Structure 1
């Protein structure tokens, strides 16, 4: 056939026909058994009458002769646009190789140039599957201090590790390794997968992947009994110096949330919510062993300590001013991972116990009625708030004062505060006719400390109501922040009240306050009390070298705020500056809902601020670094 091929090629050239446009076999299709589809050139098929196909570029009207192993086996069926197919009429024999060619005939019946040769290998039914790709599952290190499996991309100091994986049972697995340093692939050797499909290959002899340190990538090629092959994905390791292959993954797990369990002072240990007269109490808690415990008040870091091997820790705070303090703690392990903040631990520092007395002198027989919500600020420091004036049973006995008495009306409720917390309160009280009224004592967190039932008042022989005395002393770790008079079925009168051991008045009046409010200054001020000289557009400055507390409400902030003065974010903004240690108290309805949220720091006008955004309003409060911010209910 070779002489015919040469003559036909010359004939095609002589005739002016482009030999590149002659017939070719484009594909051979298998339609039998489990593996159906195209058969690769030199591939395997169990279809003994496979379908050959192609396309004649010169279109219809041609004649195409088909050869198999140099023997004419028929002529192709040529369809529209020159597409042709051929299926052998006689089945091929399994287990043999067959070379197919097609040759285009000219109009005189002469053969032109033959097509490409397309070789297939026939098999028994369903024996034509290609080999499945093997998988490298492990590279095992046998050398040095760190032995065992080496993860993909891991380190090894073993010059002859073992490479293992899976393949089809009986497949021959050839293991190769590529050196990124040498840019060369080395064939290491072959093994046979066992009946379960497992195989392993250990480098040996002169094979050495640590001679050149760096990245080495293993691959495996599986060849089945039919001779078909497929290769695995690469498995890379990094060769390093002896014992430099510690593959322990970095510790990225933060410690458990620490706890603050108690505060300790000279009176003992107390839980959250306690009051102490120690301005530098010791906090005690538990954290991950040997971790660094950082203690915060609000967002301010106070200091740190190290947890003992059993996890216990203690930290003595810097001097804290009188008032409420809210602490949290974090734990940082040796890898630098930091835990979430602990639950809040709240304490009240009371180093100066408020004291005073009020017998309602000067009231005389002047009669006054109080509506619900009324506030009566006494010169003694006593503040009375009428929570409910009472008179809900039609008895016409609301909250009043008369005859040097303050009287809570029928079913009324009055709140008595002392300017500061105190540890002792004494009252002289009368409640005629009935005995269902109560005195209630509360700490600074609003926890009820004690309830006293008021006895029915007895009229003495002179025709006057006789008072009964009631007193309460807070236990260690507690203080009295306010008292409620809860009247029952009849009005309840307070003739005299005293608290603490001695009268306490402020010894220093801040220049921040307006002259009208300076008389009643007790270290806590409202925005309305700050003198205009300490205010500017959207800014309040409480700097006066005195430790101050500025009490703010959302309405206060909205009344003074302006948009985009410090941060260009479209929000209303108010900035507060002051002395180191000054406190800004934000009034919120519910502490649990985290109404004001810390959104980060900003520098404006050379001053660093912490920015707090209100969750329900388009407003921000900027607090100068060094000032403390407390959210209070």
Structure 2
């Protein structure tokens, strides 16, 4: 309710209001609301608005619901509204008001029993042109980003950094429809209009001079209100000696080892049956050796695959190499490689393409290696082409020796039962469904990425005689205690976290099985090759013995390696996933 002195109730004489003695039942106007233009909300009594159809509203006691209110604008009848059940009411004039005028709103309520009327306090507003009522300054520009867009990767120029782009693009966000004024070193150099989504972008029409620059912005709305100045962005333009440039680059074929020098934008070719030639090294030069570290980012077909920091030598030269293991991403088809070098916005890029030099029409070789079955409980069996018998109906086969990036399709008695892909020529496969009891004949067809199929492999024939299902989700029991063949005084040895410790200051001898290794070992324990590994530690003269039954069915290959300054003999079971790393001085009896 208004707080100023009540005017008298009035009688109606024609279309004019005539003051009469005050009567009860007055319904005053609580608010006039502006919902157009830059400034919206409640317009105070004697306030300004650019809304030429503002909404009048108020509340009364709910028991007055149904009461009809008549509205007058400058003493002229303007319409009616009814009080709602909750006591609220609202009214919007049917005709537009005119800008630049004073308007007085009043309500009239007539008592149906006595015909007496009660007239409200006046609510006065002043209309303006569109947005002329906007006296609120906009917020300063936000999300400010300065971009070196001399290449397609739009490198951000960080605060206090350098760039060789003398027409960088400045972007940000601000009030929709407003104008952003951009200044450089305190002098206005241009402006940008903010879109309906609140975005703006500015690129200088004239190149900026080399040297130090400070960008600031001010936002001006349509009513002329100005924001505070944005935070300053300091940067340096150097189009001379600090620009990066590539001095040389080359590729290497990881299969054949041949080297090809590359020019920017050049194409390299690869054999369809080998992994692609691709960028393995690129040299960069920058004129000033004090510029510091550079970020080097590799993109393949527009997707970032590697990013690293490169440190210059004393002459300001940078060299960077990349691993050549990108798998299927560069196997078939034409692919684009782009390396972007960036140092706080000072950037350059180098690109080339790899292309096949022929269409792959050569079918891969048929699968020829024997199959290895892992039964899910740590047991490994070789399945030969001759008859095999197993009491397990869930069989996991693995092998190697196939062309890279191929897919292996498995057939049982001539019916496809699933497929798997090769990774560096190795693979593993578990059928989707358990094998039924009875005779089975398993064959493999190898299909390369070009769709060429090999001939079917020789059949592996086996019989399943499974009395109980082995498809339970219950985990198999992991046995980590080894079968020790040593004097009783030594106690038990065990695999702990993938390690066997034999050395106790005396000559020790322990026996181990392949099951022990599978159950107690860890994947990639000592180095990352995906194998199940166990590390054996002990004194000179200690001995680890493979049990007799496993010795009869295994073939091992041996290698030397050093890990964390410890020398090991590496023993791998051929065609399997098992590796033993035996510390030098410890004997391993496996033949």
Pair in the same fold by TM > 0.5: no
Q: TM-score, normalised by structure 1?
A: 0.29
Larger Rg: 1
Q: TM-score, normalised by structure 2?
A: 0.31
